[in-house]
Structure 1
Amino acid sequence: MDLKPASDVSTAPLTVLGLAGGFALARETGIRPLGGVLLGACGLLAGRTWLARTDPGTTAVLAVTYLGGFVGSHRLARSIGAWPAVGVVTVASAAASWALCDARD
C-alpha cells in the first residue's frame, strides 16, 4: 500500500478526523486507546504534510495546536461539556492547519 505524496494531502480534514473522530471512536466503543490510535495516526499523517509543505517551525506550531487541542479539550469539557469542547478545539486546529498549510496551494 502506497501513501499519497505528502504534498498532495489536505491536513485540515485529517485534524478533524483525528480529534473529533478519535473522540467519537473512543466514546462509542468504550475503548479509549482505540481513539488514541486514530488521533495519533491522523496526527502523524498531517505532520508529514506540514513538514513537506511548510518549515519545521510551522510544523511545530501546528503539532502543538493539534496535541494542545486534545489536552485542552479535557479541561474545557469541565466548563462547556465534552462534545462542545471537542468541537471548539477541532475547529481551531483545522482552521490553523488550513491557514498555515493547506491554503498555500
Structure 2
Amino acid sequence: MEQFPTSVVAAGGLVGGYAAARWTGRRPLGGVVLAAAGTVAAREWHRRTSPTTTALLGAAYVAAFAGSHPLAKKIGAWPAVCTAAAAVAAAAYAVADR
C-alpha cells in the first residue's frame, strides 16, 4: 500500500469536521468526520512511528480541536479551524510524513 500524507488527513479531519457540523447544523456529524479522520491518521502514525509519537500526535490532534474553540472567539471560526489544521498538519508532516 502506498503511503498517504497523514498531515492532509489530520488537517482534513479538522476542517471537514467543522464544515460538516456548520453546513448541516448537526454537530454530531462533525464529530463523526473528526473522529474518522483522526482514526485513519492515528492508525498510519502507529504504523510509521513509535507508540509514544502516535500518542503525542493524537494528543496534538485533540488539542488542536479543543484549542480552536477559544481561538475562534478571538479571530473567528474559519481562521481558528484553519490555524489548528495547519498546526496539526505541520506536526504530522515533520514527524510522520517526511
Indicate whether the TM-score tops 0.5: yes
Which residue identity does 1:65 align to in structure 2? A
Work out whether 1:42 is the aligned partner of 2:37: yes
Aligned to 1:102: 97
The runs of at least 4 aligned residues of structure 1 exceeding 4 Å deviation read none
CA distance in 2, matches of 1:9, 1:28: 27
Q: Report the 3-state secondary structure (helix = DSSP H, G, I; strand = E; otherwise coil) of the residue aligned with 2:64.
A: helix
Superposed CA RMSD in Å reads 1.1
Q: How many residues align?
A: 98
TM-score using structure 2 length: 0.95
Amino-acid identity (%): 50
In 2, distance between residues paired with 1:12 and 1:46?
8
Structure 2 residues without counterparts, runs of 5 or longer = none
| Pairing 1:1-105 to 2, within 5 Å after superposition | 5=1, 8-103=3-98
Distance in 1, Cα, partners of 2:21 & 2:49 = 31
Equivalent AA in structure 1 for residue 35 of structure 2? G
Deviation string 1:26-84 (CA, Å, 9 cap, x unpaired) is 10010110010000000000000101100011111100111100000001111111111
